[in-house]
Amino acid sequence: MVVSLEKNKQHEVVIIGGGFGGLYAAKSLANRNVKVTLIDKRNFHLFQPLLYQVATGTLSPADISSPLRAVLRKSKNTKVLLGEVNNIDPKTQKVFVGDKIVPYDTLIVATGANHSYFGKDNWKDLAPGLKTVEDAIEMRRRIFSAFEAAENETDSEKRRALLTFVIVGGGPTGVELAGAIAELAYKTLQEDFRNIDTSEAKILLLQGGDRILPHISPELSQSATESLQKLGVMVQTQTRVTNIENDVVTFKQGDKVQQVSAKTVLWAAGVEASGMAKVLADRTGVECDRSGRVVVEPDLTVKGYKNIFVIGDLANFSHQTGKPLPSVAPVAKQQGEYVAGLILLRLHGHTLPPFHYTDVGSLAMIGQNLAVVDLGFLKLTGFIAWVFWLVIHIYFLIEFDTKMVVVIQWAWNYITRNRRSRLITGKEAFLGPQPINNSHPYQATETVKQPVKV
Amino acid sequence: MVVSLEKNKQHEVVIIGGGFGGLYAAKSLANRNVKVTLIDKRNFHLFQPLLYQVATGTLSPADISSPLRAVLRKSKNTKVLLGEVNNIDPKTQKVFVGDKIVPYDTLIVATGANHSYFGKDNWKDLAPGLKTVEDAIEMRRRIFSAFEAAENETDSEKRRALLTFVIVGGGPTGVELAGAIAELAYKTLQEDFRNIDTSEAKILLLQGGDRILPHISPELSQSATESLQKLGVMVQTQTRVTNIENDVVTFKQGDKVQQVSAKTVLWAAGVEASGMAKVLADRTGVECDRSGRVVVEPDLTVKGYKNIFVIGDLANFSHQTGKPLPSVAPVAKQQGEYVAGLILLRLHGHTLPPFHYTDVGSLAMIGQNLAVVDLGFLKLTGFIAWVFWLVIHIYFLIEFDTKMVVVIQWAWNYITRNRRSRLITGKEAFLGPQPINNSHPYQATETVKQPVKV
């Protein structure tokens, strides 16, 4: 467990996970005096904040993905290893990847989070979440198939259920999904169908807490609610989903129990730490919080293991504000950079003060010309916030890979108010529109499974 | 079977298939004095000639797809029906789509072709073909997974098999696939791996006939062969694959039997007419050729049925040259336009002379700055042919939908020599690289199944 400082052996850093945390750590270690191995199950980094635009037909998966090997091409000290980590051994400092054993001097674990259905695991098939490319394609299939099926449906009640979209969770993803579906139904698709009026679609955004976007200021949250309502979204706060069954969503608002028939239910509510947290807990005895996140030390290490770091959505870092830092990309990015810096300093016997997150503000897109931006000292809404949102996202996107194409697509969508990427694809795409109550369960067991088998 | 000319009833045209033939027919009938229903299993038109660019990581599926409803949005007389045709009844003039019955006055059948494995249907899983978006994503997964697995493989023989790519079929698709994979291995991916040298990859293009690209002139075919060889592709003509088993491809060149260990085998050889041909044969007694195509009359109708047209890859039209017209987009396009014109003229008691195909020439992309173009009066190779290829494809792409994005991607790929869309996705993407000889059969039964169940 001692950090290797032997003269002739280069220090080996192993990073598990190529998300924001892992990739920024790798970038910060590029071509420095360490050997780096980045392990991921996927061959690309995914820009998750824009995944909802894939799910709603604006962008293609490749538009928001960067091949890890391409990003790290010039990092000659870095190997990318595609594989699934089965286990780690902190005693002998080894990571087990398939049938391979990868030794490390320092380990960075950044495997992120998955959906959580709060114990109702059968909801997974009924209300898919949005974490992977496959999730987004499945959501896209469901959304556009619902409109297609409604076009073919003669029973008005069934048609209403097909045109009802329930989004569970009022965080950024839920808000962005609701806004995007409202724009689809009330604008983009308006002239595309002959039998149905897509503007009859009903879009419900259900939020457990007092207000949507709880991470931004109450005024902005109120402004976002009003913008969504103007777009046609029904926003219900203090609302908990109690059941999803037979295309009916049951929810409780205070004591009032309500039901709505909806063919499409999308999950943007809970997340839980990926399976690596459990592995770490088993192997190091480290504490995990209620969401399964690893409670880390002020320098992001695992208690008792100075050479194991946990960063990003997998970490619970509460030393700064007393509460865990939010599960957002900027936290992961800053933690990745901090850890890389600390590792390099340690090679020369130095260290760093505890990690400190610099809050860069929060923002959420609602629709065309509509967003909310909370920078603390500055709060923006409407068009100016929307422009700000675009600029920030373009800035982040082009850091790894010049995503000119995304900029062009956005510009083009803006001008034409169309969405080019609304393909119904995947294994069930050939079945055509699905009749209501005829279950086509979402076989997502493979795509949303825990990334680590222990 | 009589063409309806009743005064108060609008003539109903039903088109099955939204490929080039069906879509150009629908476009030509847009907002004319007929009712049109376009039936397709998919909600988008696919620009198949560029599918190989999805399979090799240059473009995204949405880049070469146009949502049918968006293309036909302004055709107010046209309905799009998403569904699978089960049967037709020429007597009562009805098409059966799922549980729906769609009556027609005139029927246009344009359901195209599928892969054919010449009776060796078990090769389907071993050597996937390229007809659908799902096919392309599966090819992409196999190609990039092979490089990943090679990077992890320590056994040199297995690594060699992982870096061997066999493309069966020397038509445009086979040539374009071979050229694109050569560019991947010998250029794009060169710096991306640490353990393997991707330039050791072996790419074999196997062609049954005397020369590749048999539809163009022998000199151009020779030039294409030389260009491919310069890129590093081994071109074997007069070569027939006799077996594919356990990652070994057996092929016969004259009397010489050879074997090559290859993890990735791609099928670009045979096609056969889609299942609608059989339905038509059963229902109308029309003759089908050896590839299952419907032998059509000089006006593209089915013998004895003046109101049933068969166009595109589904049709065998031999009245012009004595041989069937080639299965290419321009034939389908011209036939769609011809049939639409004939239907409109018939409404006024007029008719048209037999269909006549205006040959617009043939072309195939080989690689960056390399293509062959045969316009009959003009033959181009190299850079000038490549520019010509680009201009023609951009022209066709923007006819339905402004595919500015494709132009930008191409330009960007050209400058950076990178490929942005090399994602390994789909149901097996999470399994990481596949060990050799550990079969992960391609479950393609759904995606390449016959579109029509009779």
Q: What tens digit of pLDDT does each residue of A376-417 get?
A: 889 999 889 988 888 888 777 766 665 666 666 666 666 666
Task: Report residue A7's pLDDT band, with 50, 70 and 90 as the boundaries.
Answer: low
**pLDDT of amino acid B440:** 32
CB contact under 8 A, A412 and B402: yes
Average pLDDT over residues B190-218: 95
Counting every residue, how long is chain A? 454
User: Lowest-confidence range among A140-154, A285-299, B404-418?
Assistant: B404-418
> Tell me, what's the pLDDT at A438?
32
Alpha carbon separation from B120 to A92, A152, A331, B123, B393 (Å, rounded) = 52, 38, 55, 6, 34
Q: Does any CB of chain A come closer than 8 Å to the CB of residue B442? A: no
Asked if A190 has any chain B CB less than 8 Å from its own CB, the reply is no
- pLDDT of residue A76 exceeding 50, the answer is yes
The amino acid present at A269, given as its one-letter code, is: A
Chain B residue at shortest CA distance from A191:
B73
- Confidence band for A22, pLDDT divided at 50, 70 and 90: very high
pLDDT recorded at residue A454: 27
A35 touches chain B (CB under 8 A): no
B212-220 average pLDDT score: 92
Interface test with A, best of B69, B101, B437 (most A CBs within 10 A): B69
- Catalytic center residues of A: 176
In chain A, the residue whose alpha carbon lies closest to the alpha carbon of B37 is: A194
Sequence-separated (6 or more) residues with CB below 8 Å from residue B277: B288, B292, B293, B294, B310, B314
Q: For residue A446, list chain B residues with Cβ-Cβ distance below 8 A.
A: 427, 430
| Chain-centroid distance, C-alpha A317 | 19
- Residues B405, A420: C-beta atoms closer than 8 Å: yes
Residues A267-291 as b/e (b if ≥16 CB within 10 A, e otherwise) read bbbbbbbbbbbbbbbebbebebeeb
CB contact under 8 A, A83 and B194: no
User: What is the Cα–Cα distance from A186 to A190, expressed in whole angstroms?
Assistant: 6
Name the helix (H) or strand (E) containing A205: strand A202-206
pLDDT mean across residues, chain A: 88
Residue A60 has a pLDDT of: 86
- pLDDT for residue A450 is more than 50: no
Residue pairs between chains A and B whose CB atoms are closer than 8 Å: 160
Provide the pLDDT for residue B260. 97
Model confidence at A156, pLDDT cuts 50, 70, 90, reads: very high
Residues B128-186 have pLDDT tens digits of: 999 999 999 999 999 999 999 999 999 999 999 999 999 999 999 999 999 999 999 99
Q: pLDDT, tens digit, for every residue of B59-80?
A: 888 888 888 998 899 999 999 9
Question: For the segment B228-274, what is each residue's pLDDT rounded down to a tens digit?
Answer: 999 999 999 999 999 999 999 999 998 999 999 999 999 999 889 99
User: What 3-state DSSP class applies to A34?
Assistant: strand
| CB within 8 Å: A82 and B433 | yes
Please judge whether A193 and B61 are an interchain contact, meaning their C-beta atoms are less than 8 angstroms apart: no
Q: Give A 366-395 residues with CB within 8 A of chain B.
A: none
Q: Which residue reads 């476009």 in tokens?
A: B27
B432 to chain A: which residues are within 8 Å by CB? 41, 82-84, 98
Question: What's the mean pLDDT in A269-291?
Answer: 95
C-alpha angle A316/A320/A326, rounded to 5°?
45
Nearest CA-CA distance, residue A207 and chain B, Å: 31
Give tens-digit pLDDT for A170-192: 999 999 999 999 999 999 899 99
Tokens (6 digits) for A272: 């839980």
Question: Rounded CA gap, B438 and B122, in Å?
Answer: 17
Question: What are A318's two structure tokens?
Answer: 């509460």
Of B138, B153, B176, B297, which is the active-site residue?
A: B176
Q: Average per-residue pLDDT in chain B? A: 88
Are B206 and B170 in contact, with CB atoms under 8 Å apart?
yes
pLDDT (mean) for A21-33: 96
Q: Hey, are the CB atoms on B401 and A408 less than 8 Å from each other?
A: no
Contact B122, B139 (CB under 8 A): no
Distances (CA, A) of B130 to B46, B96, B233, B271: 12, 28, 20, 10
Contact B408 A412 (CB under 8 A): no
Interface-testing mutation among A39, A68, A69, A436, with chain B (most B C-beta atoms within 10 A):
A69
Say if A67 is an interface residue toward chain B (CB within 8 Å). Answer: yes
Lowest mean pLDDT among A330-344, B6-20, B231-245: B6-20
How many other C-beta atoms lie within 10 A of the C-beta of residue B26?
A: 28
Chain A residue with CA closest to B416: the answer is A402
Residue A322: predicted pLDDT: 95
* Residue A201 pLDDT greater than 60, yes or no: yes
CA distance B96 to B381: 48
Residue B357 reports pLDDT greater than 90: yes
Per-residue pLDDT of B370-410, as tens digits, reads 899 998 889 999 889 988 888 888 777 766 665 666 666 66
**How much is the pLDDT for B391?**
83
What is the rounded distance in angstroms from the CA atom of residue B14 to the CA atom of residue B103? 8
Q: Which pLDDT score, from 0 to 100, does residue A280 have?
A: 98
pTM for this entry: 0.88
For A152, name the nearest residue in chain B, comparing CA atoms only: B81
For residue B447, pLDDT over 60 is answered with no
How confident is the model over B26-42, as pLDDT tens digits? 999 999 999 999 999 99
Nearest CA in chain B to A58: B62
Q: What percent of chain B has pLDDT over 70?
A: 87
Rounded mean pLDDT of B302-318? 98
Look up B176 and say whether it is catalytic.
yes
For A292, the token pair is 């399964």
> Which CA distances in Å does A336 have to A20, A240, A341, A394, B76?
8, 35, 9, 21, 55
